[in-house]
Amino acid sequence: MKDFVDSTAFNNEQGNRARKLFAAVVLAALDDAIADDKKYGNGPEQIARWARSRDGREVLSCAGIDPNERVVQGLMDFVGKGVRTSVALSREESERRHAAEEAEAARAAA
């Protein structure tokens, strides 16, 4: 019984590692699309084409993301904003966005 629990825990941990690896591939694809958007102006179209492709759907699924049209639209919106993933995931950027939203709400209330 102990071996079964150990192997189940090991398999779960391996699955989590694989999911993180595929999530990193998704983040890299987003960064590539943002770079294309800055250079050629077609980033949202590039990420949409990739996400709708067979390989893109497979990578999104392996990352634990349901590859539906709503996700594709979200990826396109993210690329359209032009914020690199490393910056968007940082605490400073999150705090800056939150402060900007609070300032906007205060202006709207006044």
Instruction: Express each pLDDT in 85-104 by its tens digit.
Output: 988 888 887 788 788 888 88
Task: Give the integer Cα–Cα distance in Å for 86 and 72.
Answer: 20
> Does any domain span residue 68?
yes
Task: Give the integer Cα–Cα distance in Å for 17 and 42.
Answer: 32
| Whether pLDDT at 69 is above 70 | yes
> Does any domain span residue 60?
yes
> Does any domain span residue 37?
yes
**How many structural domains are present in the chain?**
1
> Does any domain span residue 101?
no
> Does any domain span residue 36?
yes
> Does any domain span residue 16?
yes
**Domain range enclosing 62:** 2-83
Q: Give the model confidence (pLDDT) of 7-62 as tens digits.
A: 777 788 998 999 999 999 999 999 999 999 999 999 999 999 999 999 999 999 99
> Does any domain span residue 44?
yes
Q: What is the pTM of this model?
A: 0.77
Of 29, 19, 66, 81, the closest CA to residue 50 belongs to 29
What would the mean pLDDT of 1-8 be, rounded to a whole number?
Answer: 66
